[in-house]
Amino acid sequence: SEDGYQLWLRYNKLTDAATINQYKAYTQGIVLEKESPTLLLARQELQLALQGLLQTKVTFSNTFQGGGIIIGTPSSSGIIASLALSDKLKATGDEGFVIVQTRVKNKPCIVISANKDIGVLYGTFHFIRLLQTQQRIENIAITSAPAIKHRILNHWDNLDRTVERGYAGFSLWDWHRLPGYIDQRYIDYARANASIGINGAVLTNVNANAQILTEPYLKKVAALANVFRPYGIKVYLTARFSAPVEIGGLSTADPLDANVKAWWKKKIDEIYTYIPDFGGFTVKANSEGQPGPQNYNRNHADGANMLAEALAPHNGIVMWRAFVYSNEVPEDRAKQAYNEFKPLDGSFAKNVLVQVKNGPIDFQPREPFHPLFGAMPKTPLMMEFQLTQEYLGFATHLVYLAPLFKECLDADTYAKGKGSTVAHVVDGSLENHSLTGIAGVANIGNDRNWTGHPFAQANWYALGRLAWNPSLSSETVAEEWIRATFTNNEKSVHTLKDMMLASREVTVQYMTPLGLHHIMGWNHHYGPGPWIKDKPRADWTSVYYHQADENGIGFNRTATGSKALLQYTPEVQKIYSSLENCPEEYLLWYHHVPWNYKMKSGRTLWDELCHRYYQGADSVRRMQQQWSTLKGIVDEERFQQVSSLISIQHQEAIWWRNACVLYFQTFSKKDIPSGLEKPD
Ligand code: GCU
């Protein structure tokens, strides 16, 4: 069935009669005066949406007949040029748009306009979203422009179509049949991205394969770029640092070596002959065994700048990742990226973004914001979130991630005093950077419903919406998605929103409450595994990250411990440094706490820990009950899929709870508090 495949672009008939009548006043037709590939897509989408949502035939024309919706730019539409929109349009840049209700030849109409064609497409999708979510459109006057310039998906896709940490099937990119065969999915993927403002796709895994840079593959990449172009999406690739050796026949990849520089320059020039608007590279270097400039005693800036210099004449960018740590040094992993990158502030070329994961460890259910945010004022820092649920139960757990994204974006770095939020670092406003970006590690594969779990689509959706406007609330984004994806039934919208908004905290409770982290199965990352004692890696200091012993549990990162907290501003340090004042959700991230410590609830730490684990697992049962009220309201197929998945989630929440409680009990040597059932 098509129900999952259509994502949030379902244009099923609206049910509210008054709303339909209101919208029908504008269905006389769509006016597009001058065509272009992107403008044709906008018109086609609008027609599809109106016809589906209103179940009425909508025609289009290139002249104004009276009424309807006019789309275009001032340079492609005489009507739009004649309207007094230029002030409003000025504020919308290359990608923003203006939607207004106005009168043309004394007839009421709606105008969707922008400076560039892509803005018209974004505006059209925005308008459609208003209809899908049954908003009023009379007297509409919307001006919108993206806060972030590069809104990108990172696909960790290998050339053999496996996806690293992918849980939704195999890679969408069918390298074998490219470039000759264009799968309809490429088009639908581009359309879905355009609908939420995503304008870039890094096609390949950060653990890169140099083969992607060879001619046969570049031709395949060019074919994808051709599909994506009218949707405003640029393609990027991951550059394996040792490519000059592996595919170039050189004996070194030293970034300061003249032959190496020449090789990259030639290679990059070649890429642009195939893909004239190629976006640039994402690079993972000297991390987890990947090659990089440090192999030649050079630093990250040397490596990034060498690539940046060759990309610059083509307007390409480098997204150099700060996810670096060595598992061979016995240093708190949370500190390593800051230690390596902070001293390089000011030494990166203008077209380099340093791409920083939201937290200092690795996409855990909860982490504090990364200490590099606010600490490198001279360098544009790009956010990296993870949509694929590597540490969040894969694609079987319902976890809506907007609250996790928002928690990080809204966190205050105090870098320039109060209000220096991570969002203001990333959107460039704090330090006046115009080069800005947000990336999400994609959760997309060739599963029929794209993301494995129907609700995981919401995380893809949220990434796009929040990259466009980081100040949107999790709730607004959830509600849009629910109405577009499932139903406008008010009661059900309420129930679904409740489930989604609670889901991240519920997951934290049954996996890693109170600031615990990195206690999953150490290899596959699925399910609990806090019992690593044999120290397979030096960075897993002591007994894994929870550091449990008979005195207590938690990782002391304060001045008396690993000192990771000292990487933050004094204001941030103050929030977390004392055991008494530290917010409980980060307690065990920053402190080693005695089992008998009195928590805010009045319980001991041990009792509180148990309560959180039990509460988490119980909340999944509640989620199950909530979902059961959707029977008959959502289509049977998705109803069944989600029902099965929540059952799995419930079993696994109990698995996490029992495993962690029983394991930590071997240190605390205390009973499970009365009132909580004994784990099986
Ligand atoms: C995690 C993940 C790896 C990935 C790495 C990265 O460690 O488990 O598969 O390569 O992050 O972001 O580079």
- Please say whether the beta carbons of 359 and 331 come within 8 A: no
Element (H, E) at 651: helix 636-668
Which of 206, 325, 526 maximizes ligand 1 atoms within 8 Å of its Cβ, making it the mutation to test the pocket? 206
pLDDT at site 543: 46
The mean pLDDT of the chain is 96
Q: Which tokens go with 222? A: 């060019």
| CA nearest neighbour of 558 among 538, 547, 574 | 574
* Same domain assignment for residues 168 and 35: no
Residue 19 has pLDDT above 80, yes or no: yes
Residue 441: beta bridge partners? 154, 386
Q: Is residue 9 part of a domain?
A: no
Which of 340, 345, 452 has the alpha carbon at shortest distance from 399? 452
Residue 465: CATH number of its domain:
3.20.20.80
pLDDT at 534: 55
pLDDT number for residue 208: 98
In a domain, 503, yes or no: no
Residues 436 and 528 in one domain: no
Handedness of CA 224, 226, 228, 234 (dihedral sign): positive
The Cβ of residue 601 has, within 10 Å, a number of other Cβ atoms equal to 11
Tokens coding 253: 């990849």
Residues 134 and 156 in one domain: no
Largest CA-CA distance found in the chain, in angstroms, rounded: 82
Q: What is the pLDDT of residues 421-467, one digit of tens each?
A: 999 999 999 999 999 999 999 999 999 999 999 999 999 999 999 99
Which of residues 55 and 677 earns the better pLDDT score?
Answer: 55
Atom of ligand 1 nearest to the CA of 165: 9
- How high is the pLDDT of residue 643? 98
Q: Is residue 206 part of a domain?
A: yes
Query: Who wins on pLDDT, 545 or 194?
Result: 194
Looking at 362, 412, 427, 505, which residue is catalytic? 362
Residue 330 CA to ligand 1 center (angstroms) comes to 19
Pick the last residue of a domain from 109, 144, 179. Answer: 144
Look up the CATH number of the domain holding residue 528. Answer: 3.90.1330.10
Looking at residue 30, which CATH number applies to its domain?
Answer: 3.30.379.10
The stretches of 135-237 forming alpha helices (DSSP H) are 184-195, 215-228
CA of 555 to the centre of ligand 1 (A): 22
The answer on 264 and 361 residing in a single domain is yes
Same domain, 568 and 474: no
Q: Which residue minimizes the CA distance to atom 12 of ligand 1?
A: 323
- Catalytic, 288? Answer yes
The dihedral through the CA atoms of 206, 209, 215, 216 has a sign that is negative
Protein residue with least CA distance to atom 11, ligand 1: 362
Does residue 38 sit in the same domain as residue 79? yes
| pLDDT per position as a tens digit, 513-566 | 999 999 999 888 999 999 875 555 555 554 468 999 999 999 999 999 999 999
CA of 249 to the centre of ligand 1 (A): 28
> Ligand 1 centroid vs 168 CA: distance in angstroms?
17
DSSP assignment letter at 310: H
Same domain, 459 and 589: no
CB atoms inside a 10 Å sphere around CB 402: 26
In the annotation, is 33 catalytic? no
CA distance 208 to 272: 20
* 411-423 residue pLDDT tens: 999 999 999 999 9
Co-location of 44 and 174 in the same domain: no
β-bridge mates for residue 31, sequence order: 61, 70
Residues contacting ligand 1 via CB (< 6 Å): 164-165, 206-207, 284, 323, 362, 390
**In terms of domains, do 407 and 465 share one?**
yes
Phi (first) and psi of residue 454, to 5 degrees: -55, -35
User: Is the same domain home to 250 and 323?
Assistant: yes
Q: Could you give the number of structural domains in the chain?
A: 3
pLDDT over 50 at 472, yes or no: yes
Residue nearest to atom 10 of ligand 1 (CA): 207
Q: Judge whether 301 and 342 are in contact, CB under 8 Å.
A: no
Domain boundary among 87, 109, 144: 144
Pocket test for ligand 1, best of 284, 323, 325, 540 (most atoms within 8 A of CB): 323
pLDDT score, position 531: 87
- CB burial of 65-97 (b: ≥16 within 10 Å; e: otherwise) equals eebbbbbbbbebbebbeebebeebbeebeebbb
Q: Are residues 139 and 165 in the same domain?
A: no
Same domain for 373 and 229: yes
| Per-residue pLDDT tens digits for 286-311 | 999 999 999 999 999 999 999 999 99
Whether 675 maps to a domain, the answer reads no
Residues 80-101 have pLDDT tens digits of 999 999 999 999 999 999 999 9
pLDDT per position as a tens digit, 384-399: 999 999 999 999 999 9
ipTM of this model? 0.99
Last residue of one domain, picked from the residues 144, 165, 198: 144
> What are 71's two structure tokens?
């789309």
Domain with 623 in it: 510-668
- Residue 85 CA, ligand 1 centroid: distance in Å: 47
Give the pLDDT band (50/70/90) at residue 327: confident
Question: Does residue 593 contact residue 552 with C-beta atoms inside 8 Å?
Answer: yes
Measured from the Cα of 205, ligand 1's closest atom is: 10
Catalytic residue, chosen from 288, 549, 636, 671, is 288
pLDDT tens per residue across span 222-272 = 999 999 999 999 999 999 999 999 999 999 999 999 999 999 999 999 999
pLDDT confidence of residue 285: 98
Whether residue 526 contacts residue 54, with contact meaning beta carbons closer than 8 Å, is answered with no
| Percent above pLDDT 70 for the chain | 98
- For residue 598, the surrounding DSSP H or E stretch is none
Cβ partners under 8 Å of residue 156, min gap 6: 163, 164, 165, 166, 205, 206, 207, 388, 441, 442
CA of 207 to the centre of ligand 1 (A): 8
Best residue among 155, 238, 288 to mutate for probing ligand 1's pocket (most ligand atoms within 8 Å of CB) is 288
Share of the chain above pLDDT 90, in %: 94
- List the residue whose alpha carbon is closest to atom 7 of ligand 1: 362
